[in-house]
Amino acid sequence: MSPRIAILPENLTNKIAAGEVVERPASVIKELIENSLDAGATDISVEITAGGRRLIRVTDNGHGMSREDALLSLERHATSKIRSDSDLDGILTLGFRGEALPSIASVSRFCLATREAGSLEGTKITVEGGRVRDVQACGMALGTVISVEQIFFNTPARLKFMKSPETESGHVGDVVSRLAVSRPDAAFCCISDSREMLRVQRSDLQRRLSQVVGKDSAAQLHPVDSCSEYVSVSGFVSGPSLVRSGPQAIYTYINGRFVRDKVVQHAVMQAYRGVIDRGRYPVVALFIQLPAGEVDVNVHPTKHEVRFRRQSAVHDAIQAALEEVLRLSPWLASKPLPLPAQSSPAPTGQAYRERIAAAAQASLALPRREQQYQQPSALPVAVEKKSAPVSELPPHVVTVSEPSVPFQPEQKTPADGYFSSLTVIGQFHSEYILCQSGTDLVIIDQHAASERVAYQRLKQQCLSGGVESQRLLFPETVELSFSEVAAVGRFRPELAGIGFELEPFGGNTLLVSAVPRLAAEKDAIRLVRDILADLAGIGASAAFNDLLDELLARIACHSVVRGVHALEIRQMRELLRSMDETEFAASCPHGRPVSHVVTLAELEKIFKRT
């Protein structure tokens, strides 16, 4: 009887390996650029057509290969980067598995042309579906050119998973950007269907970041540089005003390799606790260096994940390095400290400002909200001594805030709904409206309520022909990730339907000419960023409409004042009236409750009257 088990032919094992390494055109480009960088290239250009489906070409000026090495490079487990198992403990190159080239060549029509120094002619090898078809001498510049045509032509299942050309080229742009940030000393260029997506010359990290994340964003970054015996952490981090709705602008590199590691990301987010709102992510480019033996990169074929020998030491070093910078609140140096939104009563306002200024000087990191509402106990002792006694603090620190107009007994208008029928008592902490309804105390979260009203209005507008749009007086540009730009390409008409007029403005820049009217007075650019981040996250097959409610909720959220905001009685009543006018649900668009009722009986129980 013939054995049941057979060793698979190499062609097949390469195809299987390709399943892990070659997920989409962007992953091919990642492997090829990493090879170029390992070969010492200082000038790398990427060209794709149809999102990489038709053609991917990476050209470098690295050290190239001899004819013999070029042939060997296409064999499985053939690498020039390690020789023995002890080398695995100290990997300094980006590659080492010797898998990428044979894997890519097994699922495409592949051509490798390469020339090394000292050789008069280059070698050109053509491979089809993993079989070498032709080997020739060729004339070419020093370096290597790899062309990958018709990727997945022989693996139809994979082909089906390819997204639209715009989406795929978006991913390619993101991969090139990540690698470009990792090596400012090399020049990169990326062309998609003859359109230049990215072109960066050799420079330093700061300039490279401004080319990749945008000049405006880069101007708001603060340097990190911390070195302990074991780990060094350097790079740039953003302050509280430069945030994104997803982690896409967190670039972290371990020993020069881009990683998407949970430990690293957790350390970053821990450092930002209290500095940025929950659900927001900073812009960060961090380079973490540690002895090669301390980190295992051989965890996954794509090498995006790593394992640390001393995980908590690395975590704490990253967190401490970031906290050291954030604690100094470097963003306060260039901007005036935000003062309370509510204008503070005269006698103590000055003292309060002085205290805050002193606190800022003492380099105290203030969590965002506390920048406005500094509790005395959070001030450093040294400042405490110099400053006014606690009793002189303005009423901001007292929990019940006074309405900014003197309280007048409410003049009720004819009630035409539950909310309008409520008697407004006042405002609590500039965040909640307190009302009375018979023997009930009704507490309304003014932010959630305004958001709900805005959301219902937007929904209504959507149903009757489209969200009202407002042209910006001066169109603004916004720099995005390439996936986000690709989302605009896919959903331009739909975006216009919800009030956004966006046009490509070269590379990863967009021109924003109009935004939803309801949100026009707020930070329109931040809204555009958030909406596009949401869109970039959805698959090609998902319809825009699946996400519509979420997007409208986002616009609604941007259209209303966040956090504390003193309201006049008139404004509170207006809000209550609008709540009745809209088809109102008892929750904000995110599902949080809008109002809460405390009955007299409940209060009496608290006060032990019953």
Query: Shortest approach of ligand ADP to residue 127 CB, angstroms?
Result: 13
- Nearer to Mg ion by Cβ, of 100 and 553: the residue is 100
CA distance 426 to 221: 41
| Interface mask toward ligand ADP for 138-167; x: CB under 6 A | ------x-----------------------
Contact between 477 and 579 under an 8 Å Cβ cutoff? The reply is no
Contact between 548 and 535 under an 8 Å Cβ cutoff? The reply is no
3 state DSSP class of 210: helix
Place of tokens 């330093």: 204
* 27 interacts with ligand ADP by CB under 6 A: no
CA distance 327 to 81: 42
Q: Which two tokens stand for residue 381?
A: 């002792």
Q: Residue 307 carries which side chain, given as an amino acid letter? A: R
Query: Shortest approach of Mg ion to residue 98 CB, angstroms?
Result: 7
| Interface mask toward ligand ADP for 264-293; x: CB under 6 A | ------------------------------
Q: Which of 14, 27, 35, 461 binds ligand ADP (CB under 6 A)?
A: 35
* 99 interacts with ligand ADP by CB under 6 A: yes
Neighbours of 602 (CB within 10 A): 12
CA angle 548, 554, 556 (to 5 degrees): 105
Size of the site for Mg ion (CB under 5 A): 3
CA distance 128 to 154: 10
- Nearer to ligand ADP by Cβ, of 104 and 566: the residue is 104
* 170 interacts with ligand ADP by CB under 6 A: no
* 97 interacts with ligand ADP by CB under 6 A: yes
Query: Shortest approach of Mg ion to residue 33 CB, angstroms?
Result: 10
* 552 interacts with Mg ion by CB under 5 A: no
Query: Shortest approach of ligand ADP to residue 157 CB, angstroms?
Result: 23
62 interface partner picked from ligand ADP, Mg ion, none, CB below 5 to 8 A per type? ligand ADP
Query: Shortest approach of ligand ADP to residue 155 CB, angstroms?
Result: 18
98 interface partner picked from Mg ion, ligand ADP, none, CB below 5 to 8 A per type? ligand ADP
Place of tokens 């309520």: 449
Q: Which stretch binds ligand ADP (CB under 6 A): 32-40, 304-312, 376-384, 521-529?
A: 32-40
Q: Which two tokens stand for residue 101?
A: 């080239």
* 301 interacts with ligand ADP by CB under 6 A: no
* 13 interacts with ligand ADP by CB under 6 A: no
SS (H, E, C) 420-462: CCCEEEEEECCCEEEEEECCEEEEEEHHHHHHHHHHHHHHHHH
Under rule CB under 5 A, which residues in 338-357 are in contact with Mg ion?
A: none
Q: Which stretch binds Mg ion (CB under 5 A): 30-38, 103-111, 210-218, 371-379?
A: 30-38
Q: Which stretch binds ligand ADP (CB under 6 A): 77-85, 197-205, 476-484, 592-600?
A: 77-85
Find the residue with minimal CB distance to ligand ADP.
95
Query: Shortest approach of Mg ion to residue 34 CB, angstroms?
Result: 5
| Interface mask toward Mg ion for 34-73; x: CB under 5 A | -x--------------------------------------
* 36 interacts with ligand ADP by CB under 6 A: yes
* 130 interacts with ligand ADP by CB under 6 A: no
Find the residue with minimal CB distance to Mg ion.
95
b/e sequence 61-81, b meaning 16+ C-beta within 10 Å: bbbbbebeebbebbebeebee
* 100 interacts with Mg ion by CB under 5 A: yes
CA distance 329 to 313: 25
Length of the chain counted residue by residue: 610
Report the DSSP pairing between strands 257-258 and 243-244: unpaired
* 479 interacts with ligand ADP by CB under 6 A: no
Which DSSP symbol is given to 242? S
* 189 interacts with ligand ADP by CB under 6 A: no
Query: Shortest approach of ligand ADP to residue 109 CB, angstroms?
Result: 17
Q: Which of 18, 39, 186, 531 binds ligand ADP (CB under 6 A)?
A: 39
Question: Strand order of the sheet with strand 284-289?
Answer: 221-227, 232-238, 284-289, 250-254, 257-258
Q: Residue 42 carries which side chain, given as an amino acid letter? A: T
- Nearer to ligand ADP by Cβ, of 25 and 62: the residue is 62
Query: Shortest approach of Mg ion to residue 73 CB, angstroms?
Result: 9
79 interface partner picked from ligand ADP, Mg ion, none, CB below 5 to 8 A per type? ligand ADP
Comparing CA positions, the residue from 454, 442, 440 lying closest to residue 579 is 454
- Nearer to ligand ADP by Cβ, of 91 and 249: the residue is 91
* 101 interacts with ligand ADP by CB under 6 A: yes
Size of the site for ligand ADP (CB under 6 A): 22
Q: Which stretch binds ligand ADP (CB under 6 A): 78-86, 245-253, 332-340, 565-573?
A: 78-86
Largest CA distance in the chain: 100
452 interface partner picked from Mg ion, ligand ADP, none, CB below 5 to 8 A per type? none
Q: Which long-range contacts (CB under 8 A, 24 or more apart) does 349-358 make?
A: 349/394, 351/387, 351/388, 351/392, 351/393, 351/394, 352/393, 352/394, 352/396, 354/387, 354/388, 355/379, 355/383, 355/387, 355/388, 358/383, 358/386, 358/387
**What are the φ and ψ backbone dihedral angles of 202, each rounded to 5 degrees?**
-65, 135
Q: Which of 25, 62, 95, 165 binds Mg ion (CB under 5 A)?
A: 95
**What are the φ and ψ backbone dihedral angles of 487, each rounded to 5 degrees?**
-60, -35
| Interface mask toward ligand ADP for 47-76; x: CB under 6 A | -------------x-xxxx-------x---
* 251 interacts with ligand ADP by CB under 6 A: no
Q: For residue 281, give every residue at least 6 positions away whose Cβ sits within 8 Å of its Cβ, in sequence order, or none.
A: 243, 244, 245, 246, 247, 248, 249, 250, 269
Footprint on this chain of Mg ion (rule: CB under 5 A):
35, 95, 100
Footprint on this chain of ligand ADP (rule: CB under 6 A):
31, 35-36, 39, 60, 62-65, 73, 78-81, 95-101, 144
